[in-house]
């Protein structure tokens, strides 16, 4: 029984290699195979990860299904443009960040979300990063939003009737003379 499982595992690994090689060799659309996760079981390849466009998602599936030994493809790829929209909608729907638009720009590259622009507070910046990170398919968030620093607390006011401590007297100038040339 263990031999059958090992043999199947070797067959699955070979199937993943064949699918990956087919993607690399395909000249039509360049798909970043490093951003993909492929697993095979009994001739079925499940593919996950991130691609930039819907065209890349479709081409990836079309090329893999044609690889020798592949019976079916389960396509679980995330498309960056879709992630940008979903993150933008989530930010627009959340009360903590709704007021940040149009100041928040959302970009994505292979599942990494980039937040740029200007927001009115550090709290909104922090909330934007938290919201984006919770979206399914987001691998990482680069929060480059600009927000003003919170105001620093003012120095405590002097109490009425209390005189401030006197300032120390300046040090006298040195009595040493500089030599004349």
DSSP assignments along 88-110, one per residue = HHHHHHSTTTGGGTTTEEEEEET
Domains identified in the chain and CATH numbers: 11-78 (3.30.1340.30), 81-146 (3.30.1340.30)
Tell me which range, 29-33, 59-63, 98-102, is most confidently predicted by mean pLDDT.
59-63
Work out the average pLDDT over 141-169: 75
Q: How confident is the model at residue 27 (pLDDT cuts 50, 70, 90)?
A: confident
Mean pLDDT of 143-169: 73
Q: Which residues contact 119 (CB under 8 A, 6 or more apart)?
A: 97, 100, 103, 104, 125, 128, 145, 146, 147
Predicted confidence at residue 44, as pLDDT, reads 94
Has residue 164 got a pLDDT over 80? no
Checking if the pLDDT of 177 tops 60, the result is no
Region 22-44 average pLDDT = 83
Instruction: Give the pLDDT of residue 3.
Output: 46
Mean pLDDT of 29-47: 85
Q: Quick one: average pLDDT of 77-93?
A: 95
Residue 179 reports pLDDT greater than 60: no
pLDDT of residue 150: 74
Give mean pLDDT, residues 156-179: 62
SS3 call for 49: strand
pLDDT band for position 70 (cuts 50, 70, 90):
very high
Q: Which of 11, 5, 36, 8 is nearest to 23 (CA)?
A: 36
What's the confidence (pLDDT) of residue 29?
65
Cα 21 off chain centre by: 28
């Amino acid at each position: 029984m263990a031999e059958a499982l090992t043999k199947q595992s070797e067959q699955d690994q070979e199937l993943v290699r064949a699918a990956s090689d087919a993607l690399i060799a395909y000249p039509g659309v360049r798909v970043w195979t490093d951003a993909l996760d492929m697993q095979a079981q009994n001739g079925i390849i499940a593919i996950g990860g991130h691609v930039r466009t819907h065209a890349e998602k479709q081409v990836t599936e079309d090329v893999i299904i044609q690889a020798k030994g592949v019976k079916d493809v389960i396509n679980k790829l995330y498309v960056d443009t879709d992630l940008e929209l979903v993150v933008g909608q989530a930010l627009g729907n959340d009360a903590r960040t709704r007021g940040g638009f149009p100041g928040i720009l959302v970009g994505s590259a292979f599942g990494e979300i980039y937040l740029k622009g200007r927001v009115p507070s550090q709290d909104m910046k922090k909330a934007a990063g938290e919201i984006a990170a919770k979206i399914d398919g987001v691998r990482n968030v680069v929060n480059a939003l600009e927000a003003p620093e919170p105001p620093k607390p003012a120095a405590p006011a002097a109490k009425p009737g209390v005189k401030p401590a006197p300032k120390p007297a300046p040090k006298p100038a040195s009595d040493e003379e500089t030599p004349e040339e």
